[in-house]
């Protein structure tokens, strides 16, 4: 099957020309309910894809789900290295992730964060390999084989589209710590971040 290298409806590069959007935060309803399938692969979808790539780049992320910009359709964008540090860039609509089972299943506990809870990280065990199948923004079938960080990214973003944030996979104690870590740095992230850049200082302490 084709890889997920983005192709434009008009022949233009869907990675460029977008504008950053506000990233939704944990607790907002759109992040905690399942998405609906993408059925129209049109110019409106391409425009949002461009904006999501711009948003992800501005926020220094490796993946971004539609719900993280307030859209309830099932798709995500990514720009992420695999275990061999090969960079993969793409769009996946209506994704389905296949994870190893049985003897081939190998869990790796690694630090994970979320642009919708910026500044906070926790260790979460996930399979070190994932295969994601879906369609690109033009409706063409794609398949991505992910290892390393890319495998984690594919699972994290697909979780978002099911209404699951990674904190839902943590124990209550770890989730509380994660929320506390976010609260400690929340002053750096304006409500419309990353449209407004994060602060490099605490305004209260500099007053």
Active-site hit among 28, 111, 112, 157 = 157
- Residue 11's contacts (CB-CB under 8 Å, 6 or more residues apart) are none
Its sign, for the CA torsion 11, 15, 19, 20, is: positive
Its sign, for the CA torsion 2, 39, 115, 126, is: negative
Please work out, in degrees rounded to the nearest 5, the angle formed at the alpha carbon of residue 37 by the alpha carbons of 28 and 27.
10
Rounded CA-CA distance 106/130 in Å is 11
Q: Is 157 a catalytic residue?
A: yes
Rounded CA-CA distance 124/66 in Å is 23
The values of phi and psi at residue 93, to 5°, are: -100, 145
Residues designated catalytic: 157
């Amino acid at each position: 099957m084709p890889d997920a290298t983005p192709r434009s409806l008009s022949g233009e590069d869907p990675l460029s020309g977008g504008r950053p959007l506000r990233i939704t935060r944990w607790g907002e309803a759109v992040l905690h309910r399942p998405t609906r399938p993408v059925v129209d692969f049109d110019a409106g979808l391409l425009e949002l894809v461009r904006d999501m790539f711009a948003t992800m780049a501005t926020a220094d992320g490796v993946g971004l789900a539609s719900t993280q910009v307030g859209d309830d359709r099932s798709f995500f964008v990514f720009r992420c290295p695999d275990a061999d540090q090969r960079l993969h860039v793409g769009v996946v609509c209506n994704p389905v992730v296949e994870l190893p089972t049985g003897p081939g299943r190998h869990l790796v506990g690694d630090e994970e964060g979320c642009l919708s809870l910026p500044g906070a990280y926790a260790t979460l065990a996930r399979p070190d390999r994932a295969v994601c199948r879906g369609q690109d923004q033009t409706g063409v079938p794609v398949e991505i084989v992910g290892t390393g960080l890319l495998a984690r990214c594919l699972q994290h973003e697909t979780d978002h589209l099911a209404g699951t944030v990674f904190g839902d996979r943590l124990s209550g104690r770890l989730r509380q710590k994660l929320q506390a870590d976010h609260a400690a740095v929340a002053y750096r992230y304006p409500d419309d971040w990353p449209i407004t850049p994060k602060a490099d200082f605490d305004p209260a302490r500099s007053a």
